[in-house]
Structure 1
C-alpha cells in the first residue's frame, strides 16, 4: 500500500539514462552569449494523412514492456499512451474526458460514479464496456503487480460495481472531491476484461495505434487504428526507437533517421542544429519542470523552520538558472507544480544573505554540517548541487555534496540520513505532488496545518473550498516549507520543421504522439 520509487520518478519526469551527458558545456561557468530561443512545440500546422512518423525516445533497454503497468522508462510511457487509453487525460493541468465522460462524486466524497463513452472499440473489434473498467482497476492495483497503481491508496477496487455497460460505481478509501482529476493524475491504462499477456500479438488496446512489431530497448512499429473513438490518427505508422544516450537521440534527427527527439539536454540545445530543416522546440511555460532541493525536516538543522527559511533566502536563483539551465527557464518560487491547476504563482524570494545568516544564528545552526544527496538522474542535478553548496557556504553552512550512482540514489535509508536531496517535479496536479512527498518521511513536511489543508483540498467536492485549501497548502510551504525550487526548466526537443501534432498530456517529457505526423 506504499508509493513506489517508480511513481516519484514519473512525477519528476526523470529521464533515466541521461547520466554523463556533459550536462554543462565548459563546466559550471554561466554562458556569456545569448541563449538561442526555441520555438513553441504547439505549431499551428496540421499533419497530413499518411506516411510514417519516426520518433526517438529515452529507452529502458530489455526492461521495456508493452504491459501498461510494467515498464518505467520514458519510452514505455510514450508508447503505451497511444496503444491504450485512460479514463481521463491530463490537459493543461486539468482532467479531460477520454474513455470516461464524467466522474460524479457522492456528496461526502466517499464514492463516485463513472459514465463511460459509447461506441468505443478494442483493436480486435470487440466493444469496450464497464466490465473492462472494473477489471482494469482491480488488475492495476493488485499487490501482485511489480508497481501497483497508486489508486490503491484512494480507491477500494475490491468494491467496484458494474451498474450497466456504461456505468461503474467506485467506492473511495478516503474522501475524493475531484475523482476525474485524481484518475487523470494517477493514470491507469484500461485493458480488456481478462487480459494478462502483453506480447506484441496480445497487446490489445483502444488507443489510436496498434502493435505491429516490438523489440524491447530497440524499436516499436505501430500501425494506425482507424476505428479509434477520437478519430483516426494522421500517420499510417509510428516508428519509435529507444536510445539511452541523448547525443545519439539528437544525431538520429540530424542524420535523417528520425523526425523528432524529445527531452534533450540544455547544452545540446544551445549548440543548435546547424540545419535549416530542423529546429529546437520547447513545450511552453506551463509545461516547465521545477528544479530544486528537498530539505529533510526530520533532521537537524532543517527540523527548525528558521534554518529552512535561511536556505531559501541564501539561494541565488538566477545564477543557478543561468549556469545549470543555460538560460532555458526562469527562477522558481519554492513551490512545485507550476502550470498545474491551483498553483500559487507568487514571486520568487529575493536573495538576502544577511537575513539568512541571522536566521541560522537564531536556530543555532551556524557552521552546521549538511549533506545534500544527488545523482545525474536529470541532466544538471550534480552541477546544481555543487553550486547550491557554494551558495550555502556563503551564509555559514558547511555543505558536502554527496554524489552517488543512479541505482543507489533513491535508497530510502540513505535519504533518511541525508539533510537534503536534489529533486525535480513537472507540471502535475498538486494532489500528486503533496501526496507522494508525504509518503516519504525524509521528503515530507511534518506540519499539522499542512496535513489538514491537504486533506480538505483532496476531499472537498466544492471547487471553491478546494481552491482555498490548495492556497493554504502552498501558504504553509512558502512560510515554513522544506522545498527549495530554484528554477523552472524548459522541456526541449529537436524536430524537423514539418513535424506537427505533438501534444502534451501530463508531463511534456512524455509527449502524446497519437495525433503526430508530418505537415
Structure 2
C-alpha cells in the first residue's frame, strides 16, 4: 500500500474516531464496537435491519433466546408448557422485570406486543403471529396463548428479533411509527440508550435495574459508526474498537487478525441467522423458467472456488435451501458438482446453441451492493458462465435501488443472501411458497410455484412428531434441489473478531445481536 493511500485511510479512521474527544472519560467496563451502516432507528419492533438488531438486542428482549444448538432457553419467559395437541402455550414470566422508565413489565405487555402491535409493525411477526387464536393473561406473571392450529416453529417466533417485547404503556393507542418515544427506546434489556450523536456514535449505558441482579458486567457500550472498510480494520488494530462482526472486515483480511495474538476470530453466534447466498432467478424471463437452464447454472459454477478463493474460507458450498447449521437439514439431495460439460449438454437440450460468437444466451446479473467480496462474486459468475456460452452483463446499483428493483421483479438474475431465522417455517418457507409471491423484498420474488412443495411446507408447519417432520423437510429439500428454483452458492460464515480481553461475547445463536449481559473486559 502506498504512503498516500495509507495516510488517507488513517485519516478516515481518525475522522471516525474524533468523536471520542467529546465523550466523557471511558467507564471502567466500556466495550467499543464498530457498526455499519448506522441504524435508522433503534426500535426493534419497527425495524429489522441488521444494525438495528445488533444495538436493539441490548435494549429489547423476547420471551425466548436460543442456544447454539438452536434449542430454546428462558429469557423474559422463565418457563413454559405446551399442551399435548401443540396448540396451547402457557408462559410463566420472570419476576420483578421493569421497563427502562421504571414501569413494571407484565403479561399485559406480552399480550399487547404479540396480539396488537407486532402484527401491524413487524415484517416477520405479521406472518408468524397470525396463527394465534387467543391470548389470555390470568395474572401479571402468566400468559396463555392458544393457536388456531399446531405450529412447531412457534417458540422460534418468540425470540428477541422475531418478536421483541414492546411496552404497552408507551405505544398503546398511538401511531407507532410517529411515537415521540421512538427517539428514546424503552426496553427491558441490560442496557439503555444514553446518547446518540448522528453519524458518529451510539452510547448505551448499564441498566442498573436489570432483572438479572448480577448483570450486566459492562458499564457502557460504545457503537462507533465507521462506514469505510479499511477504517474499520485500522480501528480494530489500533484498539479504537474491540469488536467487529458480520462483514465489517474484508474477508481477505480475516486471516491476518487470526494470526495476531491480540485477537480472537469466531464464526459462532450466527446459527440463528445461518445466512445462505444464492443467485435469485426471475422465472418470468424467457428460458430462466426452464429448470434445465437453472440446473445448467449450478453445474457451471465452482462453489468450492467461490468459498475458498473469493470468500477466503469464510464460507462453505451450499447444497440446497436449508443451511447445514440449521435443524432439519439433509444432505440426501441431488448433487451438482462443477461440470461445465454437463451445463452445456443441458443448454443444448433446450435448443440454446452457440451463435457465431459462441454465445448461447445473454442475461443480466443485478449485483448485490454489500462490498467488494460480493462484487468479486459477481465477476466470477460472469467469467464462469461465459465458458458455457452464457454472456452476463453486470448491473451495479446502490442498496436502495437494488431493493426496489428486486421487490418490483425488475431483474433477470440477482445475487442475494437471506437469514433463515432459526426454523424453516420462518426463514425458508417464505422464499419458495406460492402464496408468498409478492412485490415484497425477501418473499418469493422469483415467482417459483410448485404445488408439491407447497403441500410439503403446509404439512411440515403443523407436524408435531420430530421424525415425521424431518422426513417431510428432507422430501421438500429433494424436490427443491431437483427443481433449482434458484442457484444456491454458499453458506456464509460471518466472522466476529474481538480483542482477547473481551470475554463472554458470543453465548447464544444470536451472537453479537444478543444482550451482551455476560460480556466483560478482562483486567
| 2:236 aligned with 1:253 | yes
Could you say which structure has the greater relative contact order, defined with CA pairs below 8 angstroms and 6 or more residues apart?
1
Query: In structure 1, which of residues 329, 336, 354 is the aligned counterpart of residue 315 of structure 2?
Result: 329
User: Contact 1:453–1:469 at 8 Å: present in 2 too?
Assistant: yes
1:445-456 aligned within 5 A: 445-456=448-459
Answer with 286-295 or 377-386: which moved more: 286-295
Which has the greater radius of gyration? 2
For the residue of structure 1 that corresponds to 2:313, the secondary structure is coil
Q: Distance in 1 between matches of 2:162 and 2:418?
A: 16
| 2:514 aligned with 1:518 | no
User: Contact 2:92–2:142 at 8 Å: present in 1 too?
Assistant: yes
Distance change in 2, residues 1:329/1:164 (3 Å): same
> How far apart are residue 165 of structure 1 and its match?
2.0
Distance change in 2, residues 1:342/1:229 (3 Å): farther
Distance change in 2, residues 1:94/1:359 (3 Å): farther
User: Contact 1:160–1:170 at 8 Å: present in 2 too?
Assistant: yes
For the residue of structure 2 that corresponds to 1:351, the secondary structure is coil
Q: Distance in 1 between matches of 2:203 and 2:487?
A: 42
For 1:309, the equivalent position in structure 2 comes to 295
> How far apart are residue 307 of structure 1 and its match?
1.9
For 2:216, the equivalent position in structure 1 comes to 233
> How far apart are residue 139 of structure 1 and its match?
4.7
Query: In structure 2, which of residues 250, 259, 276 is the aligned counterpart of residue 290 of structure 1?
Result: 276
| Per-residue deviation, residues 325-374 of structure 1 (Å, max 9, x unmatched) | 02333222233433111122458631122222222222334423322221
Query: In structure 1, which of residues 245, 262, 271 is the aligned counterpart of residue 245 of structure 2?
Result: 262
Q: Distance in 1 between matches of 2:388 and 2:275?
A: 27
For 1:397, the equivalent position in structure 2 comes to 390
Q: Distance in 2 between matches of 1:119 and 1:511?
A: 21
> How far apart are residue 85 of structure 1 and its match?
0.8
1:55-454 aligned within 5 A: 55-60=33-38, 63=40, 65-92=41-68, 93-101=70-78, 112-141=89-118, 143=120, 145=121, 148-156=122-130, 159-172=134-147, 175-184=150-159, 187-196=162-171, 197=179, 199=181, 202-230=184-212, 231-263=214-246, 264-272=249-257, 276-283=261-268, 289-345=275-331, 349-366=336-353, 367-377=360-370, 379-412=372-405, 416-426=409-419, 428=421, 429-437=423-431, 438=433, 439=436, 440-443=443-446, 445-454=448-457
> How far apart are residue 216 of structure 1 and its match?
3.9
Structure 2, unaligned stretches of length 5 or more? 1-26, 172-178, 354-359, 437-442
For the residue of structure 1 that corresponds to 2:61, the secondary structure is coil
Answer with 220-229 or 469-478: which moved more: 220-229
For the residue of structure 1 that corresponds to 2:283, the secondary structure is coil
Q: Distance in 2 between matches of 1:185 and 1:235?
A: 20
Distance change in 2, residues 1:179/1:468 (3 Å): same
| Per-residue deviation, residues 272-302 of structure 1 (Å, max 9, x unmatched) | 4896434444337957633221222343323
Distance change in 2, residues 1:442/1:132 (3 Å): closer
Distance change in 2, residues 1:225/1:460 (3 Å): same
Answer with 227-236 or 169-178: which moved more: 169-178
Distance change in 2, residues 1:281/1:114 (3 Å): closer
For the residue of structure 1 that corresponds to 2:169, the secondary structure is coil
TM-score between both structures, scaled by the size of structure 1: 0.80
Q: Distance in 1 between matches of 2:90 and 2:275?
A: 33
> How far apart are residue 408 of structure 1 and its match?
0.6
Q: Distance in 1 between matches of 2:225 and 2:486?
A: 33
For 2:8, the equivalent position in structure 1 comes to none
User: Contact 1:445–1:481 at 8 Å: present in 2 too?
Assistant: no
> How far apart are residue 138 of structure 1 and its match?
3.9
User: Contact 1:289–1:489 at 8 Å: present in 2 too?
Assistant: yes
User: Contact 1:331–1:486 at 8 Å: present in 2 too?
Assistant: yes
Structure 1, unaligned stretches of length 5 or more? 1-48
Q: CA RMSD in A?
A: 3.1
Q: Distance in 1 between matches of 2:98 and 2:407?
A: 48
Tell me the number of residue pairs that the alignment of Structure 1 and Structure 2 aligns: 466
Q: Distance in 1 between matches of 2:147 and 2:227?
A: 40
| Per-residue deviation, residues 452-507 of structure 1 (Å, max 9, x unmatched) | 11111122233223222222221122221223222233312332221111126455
| Per-residue deviation, residues 55-102 of structure 1 (Å, max 9, x unmatched) | 1221326x2x23222345433211211111111123323332211245
